[in-house]
Amino acid sequence: MRLVCTLDCSEPEQLAEFWAAVLDYRPNPYEPPYLGLDDPKGEGPRLLLQRVPEPKMGKNRMHLDVWISDMDAEVARVTGLGARVLRGPFDDSGTLTAVLADPEGNEFCLIRTDREGDA
């Protein structure tokens, strides 16, 4: 069994550049309507970007959490790639969290973790 996360979008090729840079993943050839991104270490789940005709409406029911070790540096890095901050950083029950949106408006969180090997 393997976990694959699928993200609806209007421009998979453009969004692939963003997510590949954020996650340090590698894109695979585009096979409409999907463009896959894989962890070159083989540790993380595959991310599929699926072209859909309808625009994003409302809040995501599921989102990606990206665990990091330096909140300020990562917020600066991902906003430099095209993300925008929606909320935070803030203390979420003892965990420093920031809610952002990718270039197409899909929400994701940056979560600072101090646990060895998690970030």
With a cut of 50, say whether residue 116 has pLDDT above it.
Answer: no
pLDDT at 19 over 70: yes
> Of the candidates 14, 30, 53, which is a domain's last residue?
53
* 103-112 per-position pLDDT tens digit: 999 999 999 9
Instruction: Provide the mean pLDDT of the chain.
Output: 92
Task: For the chain, list the strands marked E by DSSP.
Answer: 4-9, 26-27, 34-38, 46-51, 64-68, 84-92, 95-101, 107-112
Q: How many of the other CB atoms lie within 10 Å of CB of 110?
A: 25
105 and 71 within one domain: yes
Co-location of 41 and 79 in the same domain: no
Give how many domains the chain has, as a whole number: 2
Q: Are residues 73 and 88 in the same domain?
A: yes
Q: Residues 86, 32: one domain?
A: no
Q: What is the pLDDT of residues 47-75, one digit of tens each?
A: 999 999 988 888 888 899 999 999 999 99
Looking at the chain, the whole-number percentage of residues with pLDDT higher than 70 is: 96
Model pTM score = 0.90
Residue 105 token pair: 């408006």
Q: CATH number of the domain at 22, please.
A: 3.30.720.120
